[in-house]
Structure 1
Amino acid sequence: MLLGHGRLPRVLAGTALGIFALLWLLPFVWAVATSFQREEDVASPGLNPIKGVLTLDAYRQVFERGTLPTWAFNSVLIAGLVTLLTIVVSTLAAYAFSRGTFRGRRALLAVTVASIMVPPQLLIVPLFQQMLTFNLVDTYWSIILPQVVAPMMVFILKRFFDAIPRELEEAARIDGASDLRVFWSIVLPLSRPIVSAVSVFVFIGAWNNFLWPFIITNDPDLMTLPVGLATVKDAYGIQYAQSMAAAMLAAAPLIVVFLFFQRRIVKSVATTGLGGT
């Protein structure tokens, strides 16, 4: 748009985007190359990302030193439940804020939006005390429940629901549909792009969450992948090849999820700001 129309502007724009893409991918390529090398090769000087023979030793050692299948199962279970419960709570709350007329709605919405600015680290102590009071420490629920409340997702969904034409809901109510029926049969089907995008964002956040699962659990069998892989240490210090292998194993499921849902994410971003969508 800034360069105008024609072949030359498209070539210039494509070249610039290609350069930025390469710069963005360079650290990822370097991490992948490092994970397939020996520790002595990684430590050798030089800018070449591949400094020796390629091997799977780093991945083998990561698997041997930790209960990786258990950690992976915990991550899938926790991230899946967090995503499911967050979508249920956030969509219902967002619909109530968008269409509800109850007393105190504006004040409650203001509190919800204001809570977005509260750093999560400030809530660690009260959340831990709350989990301790309910005797939930060292359980799956102690990891899941604090992550279910997502004010940012409520606000995003609320803004999308505001753009849905109210005439569709009024027509359904004339036919005798209840509020829950209208929400389930009309609002949610029209909101599939944004719900899919929010689900991906919540899943990624729950999958990558390290601090809270690290604090609230002591049982190794309850560790998630980020927490478990962080315990894979060597007596001789940081092992870069193993660290990169662990990072690749933790990132692989997220890459797969994004590849499957990238179209819905792009569609939700493109249509959220358009009225009547």
Structure 2
Amino acid sequence: MTGQRRLENLVLTCITLLAGLIWMFPLYWAFVTSLRSENRVVSDEAGLLPDEFNFSAYRDALFDTSLMDWYVNSIGTSVIITAVVLLTGMMCAYALSQMQFPGRRLLYGIVLASFMVPAQALVVPQFVLMNDLNLINKWGGIILPQLIVPVVIIVYKQFFDAVPKEMKEAVVLDGGGDYTLLFKVYLPLNWGITTALGIITFIMSWNAFLWPFLVITTENMMTIPVGITQVNDAFGVAYARIMSVALLAAAPVVIAYLIFQKRVTEAVMISSGVKG
């Protein structure tokens, strides 16, 4: 039995390694391509192994494109979106969980039902609204529609529902109000959840493409995912430059994932559990 289990573990390990290699190959190929000259990329002699270390594609990406502007736009909008989503989601979840007011159940039902509405279905009315508010080609136009993240409200509400009522009663007896309960009692208790939700929200907003692509038309206001498309337009089919920009664009998210890998995994499990 032990020998059979070892064989099963060996087979599973080999399958896992093979799956990992298949998943990593596009990243490896992008990196190898970015280190080659454009002529070398399209030549028949280009192989799988790196045979050239040409950093001209990275130099062009950094100095011949608006990459730094795209970085600033992506970082600025993602940070604002993450902060506002966490703050408003936490406050809304606290009200739904700990406060009594007419329509509370109906409001929570609407939040749950919002999962049934695909984001693409809201693109046209959101674009019309942003245009009426004169927010096209502005950070506000990128940020406002991305502030709707129901999963944050649901996760926070589940946490608040699980907090013992005796803790709330003790704070109320000491003269504390809702502000004290939320920010001085409940928030320190759920820093782990807040960190996980913050990381996953930041990554989602950083990687957002469809909405920023529609609402931004000027190159200096584009975010990283949208700006990559402009590299192709500026240089034609320049594979090395495209790959270099793509790798530079993904670098902050990859670094964040490596640093906060445990928290990202927790956030994915939390959001998957809610959606399931």
| TM interval, short-chain normalised | 0.7 to 0.9
C-alpha displacement of 1:79: 0.8
TM-score by length of 1: 0.86
The corresponding residue for 1:77 is 76
The corresponding residue for 1:193 is 192
CA–CA separation in structure 2 for the residues paired with 1:207 and 1:235: 23
TM-score by length of 2: 0.86
CA–CA separation in structure 1 for the residues paired with 2:48 and 2:247: 16
CA–CA separation in structure 1 for the residues paired with 2:39 and 2:208: 31
The corresponding residue for 1:171 is 170
**Aligned residue identity for 1:148:** L
Unaligned runs of 5+ in 1: none
RMSD of aligned residue pairs (Cα, Å) = 2.9
C-alpha displacement of 1:90: 0.9
Deviates more, 1:217-226 or 1:180-189: 217-226
2:231 counterpart SS class: coil
The corresponding residue for 1:65 is 64
CA–CA separation in structure 2 for the residues paired with 1:126 and 1:218: 18
The corresponding residue for 1:101 is 100
User: Does structure 2 conserve the Cα–Cα contact (< 8 Å) formed by 1:34 and 1:50?
Assistant: no
C-alpha displacement of 1:8: 6.3
Deviates more, 1:100-109 or 1:246-255: 100-109
The corresponding residue for 2:159 is 160
Instruction: Summarize the alignment of residues 13-28 of structure 1 with structure 2, pairs less than 5 Å apart.
Output: 13-28=12-27
CA–CA separation in structure 1 for the residues paired with 2:150 and 2:267: 18
CA–CA separation in structure 2 for the residues paired with 1:16 and 1:48: 26
Instruction: Summarize the alignment of residues 107-186 of structure 1 with structure 2, pairs less than 5 Å apart.
Output: 107-186=106-185
The corresponding residue for 2:85 is 86
Aligned identity (percent) is 36
User: Does structure 1 conserve the Cα–Cα contact (< 8 Å) formed by 2:197 and 2:267?
Assistant: no
The corresponding residue for 2:214 is 215
The corresponding residue for 2:202 is 203
**Aligned residue identity for 1:178:** G
Unaligned runs of 5+ in 2: none
Q: 1:210 to 1:267 in 2, by over 3 A?
A: closer
CA–CA separation in structure 1 for the residues paired with 2:272 and 2:200: 18
CA–CA separation in structure 1 for the residues paired with 2:43 and 2:90: 52
Deviates more, 1:83-92 or 1:46-55: 46-55
C-alpha displacement of 1:237: 4.0
CA–CA separation in structure 1 for the residues paired with 2:267 and 2:240: 38
C-alpha displacement of 1:7: 6.4
User: Does structure 1 conserve the Cα–Cα contact (< 8 Å) formed by 2:203 and 2:253?
Assistant: yes
User: Does structure 2 conserve the Cα–Cα contact (< 8 Å) formed by 1:42 and 1:51?
Assistant: no
CA–CA separation in structure 1 for the residues paired with 2:271 and 2:173: 28
Deviations 1:167-212 (A, max 9, x none): 3222222222111211111211111111111111111111111222
Q: 1:236 to 1:137 in 2, by over 3 A?
A: closer
CA–CA separation in structure 2 for the residues paired with 1:179 and 1:163: 17
User: Does structure 2 conserve the Cα–Cα contact (< 8 Å) formed by 1:136 and 1:142?
Assistant: yes
C-alpha displacement of 1:48: 4.0
